[in-house]
Structure 1
């Protein structure tokens, strides 16, 4: 596996000054007469001109991956005007943070329900040598592996929690994001890529079952609400009977208590307003 290492480079401005000085010294020595001094001066000037090919500009958050006859010789990350050996072949690699949004993919969750899911992945190149030499196209590699990791993660968890505190795609977004980030990072380590963040951007049931699942969610919500209402109503009836007994307001036999409990539950648990009926006669 090829790891990133520091490549040879010099400050470009210092090299420019050196080349100017060399030209100033040797150009005047070139004459029409071909002698040893002229030949040396011509050779030095020719090398000086050839050295111009070694200049390169490195932008912030950018790297130059250099090779010599197919062999990796190093990476230059120092910004500004730099100079290196002209024979080095240089390839620019961006180290800036990028984001990638996957398309909506259809996958079955671990309950077998078809869902649609998409993700946004924030990433950057952390090792320029691995990104260039370990994979053919690291950008395409990030896209494909991110979607593969998303598909694998989505099929491992249910859309809705089946048990209390169970991890699900919809109910635990932060936990799912952390799991997805680690899943993608494990796949991209070999490409010299660091994943900064991975979050689900779209999550929904597939259209063919969306209506049925919505009805199931509504039914579950209604059952939960009714359960809460009944629990509260029972508590209020218990409190009412206890207060009547403590304050000795009225003595009720078991039959009348049952009637009172029934009436209170109807009033408290009903989804519509009730109309009271006043008993003008005796209690019995």
Structure 2
């Protein structure tokens, strides 16, 4: 691919293999070639004969689907480039552990441990009051037993055991309390074994012997850094995408991979590199699909990334390209090439418009003067009109008077 094509302005808007010396009126051989089809239409070329159908092989060989041929590919000897239909990946995504699936964990409402704490506090106070460890206040009923009244508040072994049991129950109730806000879950493991996921929000109670890991399950978006990739023609590109995703399976995200955000970033770079190499960045030189077709590029990235991250418990909703630019080392060359292509197309449009305007002017002149010009006069007039339309500002060309052909319907002299 030639990315350094010179786009400097030429002396003429069209190339000529051999230019004859300019005549006094400024007409060129190319102008005649342009105006001749307007005067005399060429005969239509015969239609090409249909190519014979290929013979069916009789060998017992497995059938193989051939890739679609790019219409812009060279006709002789070159390998055909795959089109959009061949951009699908044929590699198999990693398999997930089928036994590792998210399941709900055992959790109780938070009001139960709070009630247990209140009852435990009341029970401890009652036991201590009966044992005489708490001094009796006047005006309150005396709940001390006979031993406590006789010993003067001495605590025996039974009282110590009862207070210890109630305190242990209160400690278990307090240690199992869990506050789970909205958009977050808790993955519970005990001694390395998965015990379930808590998705209920609010104040809950879980087993205090399990380990709790917080996982964000809200809908999240991530704007990637510029990723260096190359298109099908080998041109370096910089691509930036916006990814909308969320955690779907908390068990696989926590226990199946080391770090799910790092895994997602690495997969984004791999999918971008593989997808961008399927098509060229632009389709200026050759018609066909290109990476600039944002809808196809986004759909293909979403499909490929979702297939790669699904075994890890990550659900990808969309991948949208935010920027698709050439790398800095080739950006200037590609800009010059694009401007040269636009300049060539603009020149073609200008020449076509000038030819149509000249033909229309000649026809209106013939109708206005009621005289029909011959072929040579019409060709000379159109040449001069084309020179006047296409010539730069300040360049003038003399237009000779057209030769008038005698009318065919003249009467005989008297």
* Shorter-chain TM-score above 0.5: yes
Residues 1:108 and 1:100: Cα distance change in structure 2 (over 3 Å): same
**8 Å CA contact 2:127, 2:162 repeated in 1:** no
Aligned to 1:34: 157
User: Per the alignment, in what secondary structure is the counterpart of residue 195 of structure 1?
Assistant: strand
Aligned to 1:58: 180
Aligned to 1:98: 220
Per-residue deviation at 1:221? Answer: 0.4
**8 Å CA contact 1:95, 1:126 repeated in 2:** yes
Match of 1:122 among 244, 264, 268: 244
Aligned to 1:172: 293
Per-residue deviation at 1:41? Answer: 5.4
Q: What pairs with 1:204-243 in structure 2 (closer than 5 Å)?
A: 204-243=325-364
Q: Which moved more, 1:42-51 or 1:90-99?
A: 42-51
Per-residue deviation at 1:274? Answer: 5.8
**8 Å CA contact 1:102, 1:147 repeated in 2:** no
Q: What pairs with 1:50-199 in structure 2 (closer than 5 Å)?
A: 50-161=172-283, 163-164=286-287, 166-169=288-291, 171-199=292-320
Q: Which has the higher helix share?
A: 1
Aligned alpha-carbon RMSD (Å): 2.5
Q: Distance in 1 between matches of 2:396 and 2:175?
A: 96
Per-residue deviation at 1:40? Answer: 4.8
**8 Å CA contact 2:373, 2:402 repeated in 1:** no
Aligned to 1:257: 378
Show structure 1 runs of 5+ residues with no match: none
Q: Distance in 2 between matches of 1:69 and 1:241?
A: 96
Deviation string 1:67-94 (CA, Å, 9 cap, x unpaired) is: 1222111111111111111112110001
Q: Which has the higher contact order (CA 8 A, sep 6+)?
A: 2
Higher Cα radius of gyration: 2
User: Per the alignment, in what secondary structure is the counterpart of residue 157 of structure 2?
Assistant: coil
Per-residue deviation at 1:276? Answer: 6.8
**8 Å CA contact 1:108, 1:114 repeated in 2:** yes
Show structure 2 runs of 5+ residues with no match: 1-96, 132-154, 405-414
The answer to whether the aligner puts 1:19 opposite 2:117 as a matched pair is: yes
Q: Distance in 2 between matches of 1:74 and 1:96?
A: 19
Residues 1:270 and 1:135: Cα distance change in structure 2 (over 3 Å): farther
- What is the TM-score normalised by the length of structure 1? 0.87
Q: Distance in 2 between matches of 1:282 and 1:136?
A: 87
- What is the TM-score normalised by the length of structure 2? 0.61
Q: Which has the higher strand share?
A: 1
Match of 1:5 among 90, 103, 114: 103
Number of residue equivalences? 280
Q: Distance in 2 between matches of 1:212 and 1:275?
A: 37
The answer to whether the aligner puts 1:266 opposite 2:387 as a matched pair is: yes
**8 Å CA contact 1:27, 1:41 repeated in 2:** no
Residues 1:266 and 1:276: Cα distance change in structure 2 (over 3 Å): closer
User: Per the alignment, in what secondary structure is the counterpart of residue 141 of structure 1?
Assistant: helix
Q: Distance in 2 between matches of 1:228 and 1:78?
A: 67
